[in-house]
Amino acid sequence: VFSEEMEVAVQRRHAIDTALRAALGTNELKLVYQPLVGAKNRKTAAVEALMRWTSLELGPVPPSEFIPVAEKTGMIIELGRFAMRRAFTDLKEMSGIDLTFNVSPVQIKHPHFINDVREILAETGADPRRIEIEITETVLMEESDRLRHILLDLKDIGFRIALDDFGTGYSSLGYLQSFAF
């Protein structure tokens, strides 16, 4: 049964999609860096890059709203490139601090993902040994051979790989042994 709430939700997703397409060219999207502090020495060891969006039209839009829309429409590929380029550039200014960077399941499965990563690394001059790429365990549910090659390529480039939110979904300790974490 179609309800008014469903119509409001559809209109909101459409508004987010439309505004998000314009946001890349208007500097509405920003990266913020959440510090990851060592428990023993209480010093910042790394920062996690997180995307935030304040739309001129819609106001602040939380990632829980715009990321699913971006994944569904394919915009996540452009958003991921934007975020990677910005984070890798900013990393050069962060002496002694590493970077963790989340990659969307849609992004990592994109056929040009590894080429995009290599291109952005070359463009920014970032050191991949200072970057940890985080993927969610949901990405492991499909295309395991292809994903295994992608993760090995990332490790060969010099990145560290982490499994984000392990235990919140369809966890398997086998993932930890089968993939390059």
* DSSP secondary structure, 94-159, as one string: -TT-EEEEE--HHHHHSTTHHHHHHHHHHHHT--GGGEEEEEEGGGGGS-HHHHHHHHHHHHHHT-
CB atoms within 10 A of CB 173: 8
pLDDT at 79 over 80: yes
Residue 47: is its pLDDT beyond 60?
A: yes
pLDDT (average), residues 147-175: 76
112 with 141: CB under 8 angstroms?
Answer: no
What CA–CA distance (Å, rounded) separates 116 from 139? Answer: 19
Average pLDDT over residues 143-161: 88
Query: Where does residue 103 rank: exposed (0-12), middle (13-18), buried (19+ CB within 10 A)?
Result: buried
Query: Quick one: average pLDDT of 107-114?
Result: 93
pLDDT at 91 over 90: yes
pTM above 0.75, yes or no: yes
